[in-house]
Amino acid sequence: METSDIKELELLKEVNEQTALLIYEYNCITGELTWFGNAEIPTGFTLQELRKFDINMWLDRIHKDDLTMIHNQEKVYSGNKRPFTLYYRFLNKGGEYINLKDNGVAFSNNELKEIREIGRIEIHYNNLISE
């Protein structure tokens, strides 16, 4: 690995640790979620706690009124990729709902069956979502 590549990886790691960005990879086939970044700022959970979450545990913490919007999102593909941006309320570790912005890309196979998602989650400070 070249020195510039190592510096870039170190910078990305530092940004993830020092900001409220939570990076994830979701395996749509197994339901497994892999987390990176600063989990505590947006969720209240440590990264170690969050790594125990599968997709159902994550969805269980999303406000019930926002789940319909998530499940009914328009699935428009460009090739085998579908970008998405979701806004929803998430029940943090302290028992309060916080507004999150989930921005990512879903990847599909040739039959447009989603197989993987990658994205970032951050606190959404614009109060577009209300209880």
Greatest mean pLDDT among 11-15, 51-55, 60-64: 60-64
Query: What string of DSSP letters covers 48-108?
Result: HHHTT-BHHHHHHTB-HHHHHHHHT-----BTTEEEEEEEEEEE-TTS-EEEEEEEEEEEE
Greatest alpha-carbon pair distance for the chain in Å reads 49
Question: The tokens 């197989």 sit on which residue?
Answer: 115
Mean pLDDT, residues 73-99 = 90
Mean pLDDT, residues 98-111 = 92
Query: What is the pLDDT, as a whole number, of residue 12?
Result: 67
CA angle 88, 130, 39 (to 5 degrees): 40
Which SS3 state, helix, strand or coil, does residue 36 take?
Answer: strand
- The model carries a pTM of 0.81
Contacts of 121 by beta carbon, 8 Å cutoff, 6+ apart = 21, 22, 23, 24, 42, 100, 101, 102, 103
CATH number of 3-123: 3.30.450.20
- 25, 33, 39: which is closest to 53 by C-alpha? 33
Q: Which pLDDT band holds residue 42 (cuts at 50, 70, 90)?
A: confident
pLDDT score of 5 more than 90? no
Query: What is the pLDDT, as a whole number, of residue 34?
Result: 93
Mean pLDDT, residues 20-49 = 90
Where are the chain's structural domains? 3-123
